[in-house]
């Protein structure tokens, strides 16, 4: 099975698929939680056999705490990225749909499907939007263009 790349680097652009931030967040949450679990186990073991002063000077403990802090910072950045990527895809959806809606109105058609050329253009745009965004909704897009109720 061939999977689509999550990051597409073009000559003048970088395209991130909308599910990339969610997948990265999942991996980082997993790693952070695994490190935290091991750290808790380590501290529990050390508390039974070591003085508190020796624990505070433990470089492995300090390193694990630093990795957890880095993961938390990265999580915050990825959550911002997720919002930005989502807004970009929504903006593309809204922009294309509004252009086609205005064109349909200017051509004085009830539905974009009533005009062969406009229908072809909409179908082509929907294919492109679907390729980039697996969450793209054809029904919502068509309903918006035709000024229909979105279910």
- Residues 7-30 have a mean pLDDT of 86
Condensed to tens digits (0 to 9), the pLDDT of residues 82-134 reads 888 888 888 888 899 999 999 999 999 999 999 999 999 999 999 988 887 77
Q: How many CA within 13 A on the CB side of residue 79?
A: 7
Which DSSP helix (H) or strand (E) runs through 18?
none
Domain ranges of the chain: 7-145
Say how far apart CA 100 and CA 122 lie, in whole Å.
7
- Residues 59-73 have a mean pLDDT of 88
Residue 13 has pLDDT above 70, yes or no: yes
CB atoms within 10 A of CB 122: 25
CB atoms within 10 A of CB 127: 11
Condensed to tens digits (0 to 9), the pLDDT of residues 22-46 reads 999 999 999 999 999 998 988 888 7
Helices (H), the chain: 20-49, 52-56, 59-106, 116-132, 138-145
Residue 146 has pLDDT above 70, yes or no: yes
Q: What residues pair up with 16 in beta bridges, in sequence order?
A: 7
- Residues 72-85 have a mean pLDDT of 91
Residue 3 has pLDDT above 90, yes or no: no
State the pTM of this model: 0.61
């Amino acid at each position: 099975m061939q999977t689509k790349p999550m990051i597409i680097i073009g000559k003048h652009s970088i395209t991130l698929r909308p599910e990339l931030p969610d997948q990265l967040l999942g991996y980082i949450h997993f790693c952070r939680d695994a490190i935290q679990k091991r750290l808790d186990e380590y501290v529990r073991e050390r508390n039974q056999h070591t003085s508190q002063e020796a624990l505070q000077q433990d470089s492995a403990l300090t390193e694990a705490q630093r990795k957890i802090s880095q993961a938390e910072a990265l999580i915050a950045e990825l959550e911002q990225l997720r919002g930005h990527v989502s807004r970009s895809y929504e903006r593309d959806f809204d922009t294309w749909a509004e252009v086609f809606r205005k064109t349909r109105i200017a051509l004085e058609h009830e539905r974009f499907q009533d005009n062969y050329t406009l229908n072809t253009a909409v179908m082509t745009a929907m294919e492109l939007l679907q390729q980039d965004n697996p969450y793209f909704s054809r029904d919502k897009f068509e309903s918006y263009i035709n000024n229909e109720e979105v279910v």
